[in-house]
Structure 1
Amino acid sequence: MTIRKSMLQCSALALSLLAANVMAAVSADQVGKLGSTLTPLGGEQAGNADGTIPAWDGGLKPGAAPVTPNGFLGDPYAGEKPLFTITAQNLDQYKSKLSEGQLAMFKRYPETYVMPVYTTHRSVSVPENINQAAKISAQKTMLMEGGNGLKGFTDSRYYAFPIPQNGLEVVWNHITRYRGGNLRRTIAQATPQTNGSYTVVYFEDEVSFPDGMSGLTPEKAANALLFFKQRVTAPARLAGNVLLVHDSLDQVAEPRMAWIYNAGQRRVRRAPQVAYDGPGTASDGLRTSDNFDMYNGAPDRYDWKLIGKKELYIPYNNFRMGLPTVKYSDILKAGHTNQQLARYELHRVWEVEATLKSGERNIYGKRRFFLDEDSWQIAVSEHYDGRGQLWRIGQAMLTQHFEAQTPSYAFEALYDIISGRYLAIGMNNEEKQAFQFGIKTSAADYTPAALRSTGVR
């Protein structure tokens, strides 16, 4: 009996260690690849076999191009011409490096949708302390049971899984990516009709992170992911409305909390609809809450599958799309944004597929995401309805804010190929001030009580 009891105890211990190993962060040997065979953020350091994707050489540095007094970046690649342009007529030559959604855009708009393809530049770089944070994440961060939260992440706060083992970890990298610290921006959103007519909605956005906020209690900081505030400034019928969101690390124990200040009613109320497939602010029904920033929020309603890595033509280094000399009317056209202004490059991407769990609800039955290996930003997304029909295609016009050393994008768009309409959000070209990175914020700025003063018209 004693021997049998000892054997059972050893077996239990072995199973326990095995389970711990399954949930553990990556090995020391793998961590050692960061900054050697892998970039500090986990991309492949080497280029591809045929030389169409170069090796990463550290990315763009501050001063890569002129910057205006109010912070707008110049284009470091302004003198380059397209290598070729993909059209509906020559599409067959390039199908192997295009997604299903990209192919659908050519089919929907055969006369106007094009993709100018340029020389690939791996321009992504972040500050050294963020590189080190990613290495700490690789050593310590683990998924909570069910994958709906992060353990061991508060020591790093960025890039939870630079060496991902599954699809959910890849998506968490997008959610936890570096955005230049606390960020403030004034942006425009438009939802053009099929004839191209539109009304612009203007927002003032702020996002803050626990490591950059004062007055945050240790208890709150321990489970905080980020704090987000968005004020509508125009048109007049919406001006003064303010949205506040608190996102957590353990989204099971503490789901997203959101509040809205309604300027007309002059009252603050809880807003549980600001999550999952709840309608996006002033979006005319063209995006959900979790479509914002290409994807955000709790991943618990989907089963996530890592398809793998592939080479894809994606929007990249779209500095021209963000120039102050380019007007919103230059960008916003009938059917889709102005593809003549766009820049595409060949890059390696992680492909992840999300399938709605049985018994869960979301208007999207299946989703597919393609994430840039160097920045972990979602560059292209595909959203399918409950019948499995491709419905909406997302596209983020990726760029690199070389002065702030942070990956960014000129704007993001979501195309409804059934209705022929789309939404574009994040444009900043015509505003007085470019994005402001590293702003000082306080926990008191992100309380429901603070919304009333924020929302004064």
Structure 2
Amino acid sequence: MLRSVSIVLLSALALQAQAKVDAAQAERLGRDLTPLGGEMAGNAVGSIPAWSGGVSAPPAGYQVGMHHPDPFASDKPLYRVDSQNLAQYEALLPPGMHSLLQQNPGFYLRVFPTRRSAAAPQRIYDATRFNALNAELISGGNGVQGVASGIPFPLPQNGQEAIWNHIMRYRGEQISMITNQAAVLANGSYNLLKLERNVYFLYGREGVTPKDLDNTLFYYKYRVAAPAKLAGSALVVQETLDQVLAIRKAWRFNRGERRVRRLPMLAYDSLQPDTNGMATADQVDAYNGAPDRYEWQLLGKREMLMPYNSYAVHQQGIAYGDILQSKHVNPELLRYELHRVWVVEATLRKGFSHPYGKRRFYLDEDSWQILAVDLYDSSGALIGLQEAHPISYYEVPMFGSTLETLYDLKGGRYFVDGLDNNEPMYDFNAKLTPRDFTPQALRRAGN
């Protein structure tokens, strides 16, 4: 079977930033391509099935507010990948995962049947069709014009277009949620940080036009709920589309000072607070912000083992201590499947600094969610692995991560964000407005 794994090399890709495919190519969307640009058909050997619409409605018995019941709960693992049989499956793994398995004999991948569950609303499919004919990269690839919702480049011609598909993918119109994050040290110790989070998406919102965006993707706010010594501190972000034209605006409320301060920079390689120095600002959501510090190359599409349909680690009532094991997340709660992914490589440009001299991204063909990232330092050494463990939030419908992990392969530690098993489930109908994401609102949230 492994010899039949296809690697589609796109050797004739144009290097310049451009889009607007011709009408004949756009006609493929919804025919031999999914509405978002994935291959409609399965693979030749049948290990990847055809896409048939994804999971676009809740299963029987679901009620809003539940931790989403697993529509594939009856699936059994096909096989297991661990340090003993690693060579047999090496071609299907990101180098970072290969290294993680090699370093940790107690870690393994449970590989399940492939379920192409990603789905989005019909209006997002319609907008994506429009975008194929109209979206353009501008400002040297640092911005996108002519679109207000949908995937901007469903038939990507270069790496920049592919990474913008991830940045601008549909994630609902607003979300209110409570999640926990933890930096798990090499000795297995950690402290949980509980965050009350709100997001108001402008891009992708029904009725919004390109002019309405005014260079804004979304608004974001969090308030620290625990531990007590940090509770009340808060942050608000106004996320711009073209961050070279106008950097994201961010303000922080420090409970001790009881003052709101404008942050001079919260982007690129500035470190995220409370991550033990493991995560940079542009690693939130696997990658975010301006792409200008990297050269982007679209390497093609591959069949690989990726985290997918991660309902087991999402379920209500699981103790966080049962998820966060020493060195890695509990493998019994993770699910991996064979999926086709776009491979995009980002190489740091000369004259710029960043802990990661190179990053290799693996983007789901059905949703454009980044599923895994190999992280290399400036000398070319592999130093990290980042993963997003996604599910279908079928009541929206929207496909996105329920848990994100970042492994420090040199230090034997890792960072986890998104722990929500003992919190209320995400509210995709929260009553939010842009006025909730101002410095004044931040001060109120901190009190």
Distance 1:218 1:138, change over 3 A: closer
Q: Where do 1:245-394 residues align within 5 Å?
A: 245-394=237-386
Pair 1:179-2:174 in alignment: no
CA distance in 1, matches of 2:341, 2:19: 25
User: Any idea what SS the aligned residue of 1:44 has?
Assistant: coil
Distance 1:124 1:24, change over 3 A: closer
2:216 alignment partner in structure 1: 224
CA distance in 1, matches of 2:31, 2:331: 37
CA distance in 2, matches of 1:244, 1:327: 29
2:425 alignment partner in structure 1: 434
Structure 1 residue 213: deviation in Å? 7.8
Distance 1:220 1:452, change over 3 A: farther
Structure 1 residue 71: deviation in Å? 2.6
Structure 1 residue 281: deviation in Å? 2.5
CA distance in 2, matches of 1:339, 1:50: 27
Structure 1 residue 412: deviation in Å? 0.3
2:388 alignment partner in structure 1: 396
Letter of the structure 1 residue corresponding to residue 81 of structure 2: I
Letter of the structure 2 residue corresponding to residue 159 of structure 1: I
2:7 alignment partner in structure 1: none
Distance 1:351 1:218, change over 3 A: closer
Structure 1 residue 69: deviation in Å? 5.8
CA distance in 2, matches of 1:361, 1:449: 34
**Higher mean C-alpha deviation, range 340-349 or range 398-407:** 398-407
Distance 1:378 1:112, change over 3 A: same
CA distance in 2, matches of 1:367, 1:232: 31
Structure 1 residue 218: deviation in Å? 9.5
CA deviations over 1:379-399 (Å, ceiling 9, x no partner): 010111111111110011121
CA distance in 2, matches of 1:165, 1:172: 12
**Higher mean C-alpha deviation, range 65-74 or range 347-356:** 65-74
Pair 1:446-2:437 in alignment: yes
Structure 1 residue 212: deviation in Å? 7.8
Structure 1 residue 65: deviation in Å? 5.1
Letter of the structure 2 residue corresponding to residue 104 of structure 1: S
CA distance in 2, matches of 1:291, 1:190: 15
Contact 2:118 2:366 in 1 (8 A): yes
2:3 alignment partner in structure 1: none
Paired-residue identity, %:
44
Larger radius of gyration: 1
Pair 1:119-2:119 in alignment: no
CA distance in 2, matches of 1:196, 1:127: 41
Runs of 4+ in structure 1 over 4 Å off: 211-214, 216-220
Pair 1:166-2:166 in alignment: no
2:137 alignment partner in structure 1: 143
Contact 1:65 1:74 in 2 (8 A): no
Structure 1 residue 220: deviation in Å? 6.8
Pair 1:50-2:45 in alignment: yes
Contact 1:159 1:178 in 2 (8 A): yes
User: Any idea what SS the aligned residue of 2:303 has?
Assistant: strand
Contact 1:212 1:440 in 2 (8 A): no
User: How many residue pairs are counted as aligned between the two chains?
Assistant: 432
Pair 1:209-2:201 in alignment: yes
1:75 to 48, 54, 70: 70
TM-score, normalization by structure 2:
0.93
1:88 to 59, 76, 83: 83
User: Any idea what SS the aligned residue of 1:436 has?
Assistant: coil
1:406 alignment partner in structure 2: 398
Letter of the structure 2 residue corresponding to residue 53 of structure 1: I
Contact 1:189 1:202 in 2 (8 A): yes
CA distance in 1, matches of 2:64, 2:246: 42
CA distance in 2, matches of 1:166, 1:40: 19
CA distance in 2, matches of 1:360, 1:194: 30
Contact 1:124 1:407 in 2 (8 A): yes
1:28 alignment partner in structure 2: 23
Distance 1:65 1:390, change over 3 A: farther
Contact 1:213 1:442 in 2 (8 A): no
CA distance in 1, matches of 2:308, 2:204: 29
Structure 1 residue 332: deviation in Å? 0.4
CA deviations over 1:173-226 (Å, ceiling 9, x no partner): 110011122111110101112232211101111121226889x99977321111
Contact 1:184 1:436 in 2 (8 A): yes
CA distance in 2, matches of 1:203, 1:162: 34
Structure 1 residue 293: deviation in Å? 0.7
CA distance in 1, matches of 2:353, 2:242: 21
CA distance in 2, matches of 1:46, 1:147: 31
CA RMSD across the alignment: 2.0
Contact 1:303 1:355 in 2 (8 A): yes
2:54 alignment partner in structure 1: 59
**Higher mean C-alpha deviation, range 436-445 or range 81-90:** 436-445
TM-score, normalization by structure 1:
0.91
CA distance in 2, matches of 1:162, 1:45: 13
1:38 alignment partner in structure 2: 33
Structure 1 residue 405: deviation in Å? 0.8
Letter of the structure 2 residue corresponding to residue 132 of structure 1: D
CA deviations over 1:318-363 (Å, ceiling 9, x no partner): 1111000322111100000001111100000000010111001211
Contact 2:142 2:243 in 1 (8 A): yes
CA distance in 2, matches of 1:411, 1:294: 11
Distance 1:326 1:66, change over 3 A: farther
CA distance in 1, matches of 2:209, 2:299: 40
**Higher mean C-alpha deviation, range 335-344 or range 321-330:** 321-330
CA distance in 1, matches of 2:61, 2:323: 22
Letter of the structure 2 residue corresponding to residue 296 of structure 1: N
**Higher mean C-alpha deviation, range 216-225 or range 190-199:** 216-225
